[in-house]
Structure 1
Amino acid sequence: MSLLTLQNVKASYGSSKALFDVNLTVSEGEVVALMGRNGMGKSTTVKTICRMIPASGKLIFDGQDLSSLGSHQAARLGIGLVPEGRRCFADLTVTENLVAASRHGPWDLARVAALFPRLDERKHQRANTLSGGEQQMVAVGRALMTNPRLLILDEATEGLAPIIRQEIWEAIAQLKNETGMAIIVIDKSLAELGQVCDRATILERGKTVWDGAMTDLTSDISERLIGV
């Protein structure tokens, strides 16, 4: 069953058009890679889903039309975002960051600590004293504390040390295997995406140009549509 459906979605920043024809579906419990070269519309697509910018076309989440909703209303429906660049609350502690937007559900402080044990060790530290990798864990944990039905990770491993990147990928795999949560992942690493994602949607110049199972994403297709 489709949880999220985008059909013929268009979006602009003022008079500058960014999305021309985006089509994307995510089913319950499915992990989908949203792919494409830099500047092709991936983050803009995320912003339309989270209702940060206006858009036209069909935007349906769990049977409800998103197009007339604000970002806070989309979040309440169960859309959780790990934004590009982390964006932790710098002056708040780890615990304060995690509970800032928390909602009732299975994800609580104890469960986040089980997923990322080092956050429990740093729980009294302010976010601006953490390493980049630890801040990313806070960002993921904060999104999980909203108890989303759909989790969106926008470049969640960008710029991190290899060992921290691996921890993030292991956490994503754990979420897939143990929770059945629907997930959209934006990342540049085909190898890691191939291990956790069921399907991929590729954007080029604000349009969906390929959609299919990760097993059908051949090297020829990836080189033509994603390669530099």
Structure 2
Amino acid sequence: MSLLEVSNVTAFYGPSQALFGVDLTIEEGEVVALMGRNGMGKTTTIATICRMLTTKDGNITFAGQSLDNLPSHKVARLGIGLVPEGRRCFAGLTVEENLIAAARPGYWTFETVGEFFPRLKERRDQSAGSLSGGEQQMLAIGRALMTNPTLLILDEATEGLAPVVRQEIWSAIARLKEQSGLAILVVDKSLKELSSIADRAVILEKGQSVWQGAMTDLTSELTDKYLGV
């Protein structure tokens, strides 16, 4: 049984259908890239997994448990940590307060997150709103890690960052893959960087899963068809 199983999921925003049949699986310790052009349903799929958007049809299970009728806070407690698009740090709280706000017992503590991201430890008493964009992204990742998840979801974690900062974030994701054993679902536009860390890819088009496979099987024809501008 896979750690996460999303099977034929459909979802609506009010009367408007956004997902028309999404399928994906993630195994323990696996990194999966969720790909597709803008507006094809990637963030909506994440919202359904985290139960911030309810599904109409299909099923979602995590570690063998159905998520279909659970509220989002209970899904998080099962072991799904989300790094949302736009970071969404609490600007008026300090770095340390942001990190401990959702902390759960486990390996990831303020100290271990501070070792992983030394700048967060250096800025522990600084307000999150005064951090640079890259530091806020580190804080968002650190906050998710402190929930001690078994699945980490990263939604556009490098968007809007300077190239050198993007490389820092990609390096951190690679270290998580190598050192933590976490399963990771990552959404990003950088095919080069995704190819270097992801084991498999799932491509969405118009709210449907249209291709799944190993990153090594993702041909230029497929990327032109489903990912090209």
**What's the offset of the Cα at 1:45?**
0.2
SS for the counterpart of 2:137 is helix
- Identify the range of structure 1 (114-123 vs 14-23) with the bigger mean alpha-carbon deviation: 114-123
In 1, distance between residues paired with 2:130 and 2:181? 33
Q: Which amino acid in 2 is paired with 1:35?
A: M
**Identity rate, percent:** 66
Distance (whole Å) between structure 2 residues aligned to residue 169 and residue 19 of structure 1: 29
Distance 1:123 1:167 in 2: 19
Corresponding pairs, count: 228
Code of the residue aligned with 2:86 in structure 1: it is G
Cα offset for 1:145?
0.3
Measured against aligned partners, the alpha-carbon deviations of 1:170-209 in whole angstroms (never above 9, x if no partner) come to: 1100110011100000000000000100000000000000
2:108 equivalent in structure 1: 107
2:3 match: secondary structure = strand
Residue 33 of structure 1 aligns with which residue?
33
Match in the other structure for 1:190? 191
In structure 2, the gaps of 5 or more residues are: none
- CA shift, 1:219, in A, is 1.1
1:49 and 1:150 mapped to 2: Cα distance?
11
1:172 matched to 2:162: no
Cα deviations across residues 118-152 of structure 1 (Å, max 9, x unaligned)? 11111110011011111010000000000001000
Is 1:208 the counterpart of 2:205 in the alignment? Answer: no
Structure 1 residues not aligned, in runs of 5+: none
Q: TM-score, normalised by structure 1?
A: 0.99
Question: Alpha-carbon deviation of 1:223?
Answer: 1.0
**Pairwise CA distance, 1:220:** 1.1
In the alignment, what sits opposite 1:94? Answer: 95
Alignment-mate amino acid for residue 199 of structure 1? R
Q: What's the secondary structure of 1:2's corresponding residue?
A: coil
SS at match of 2:126: coil
CA distance in 1, matches of 2:162, 2:135: 11
C-alpha RMSD of matched pairs (Å): 0.6
Whole-Å separation in 1 of the counterparts to 2:103 and 2:200: 29
Q: TM-score, normalised by structure 2?
A: 0.99
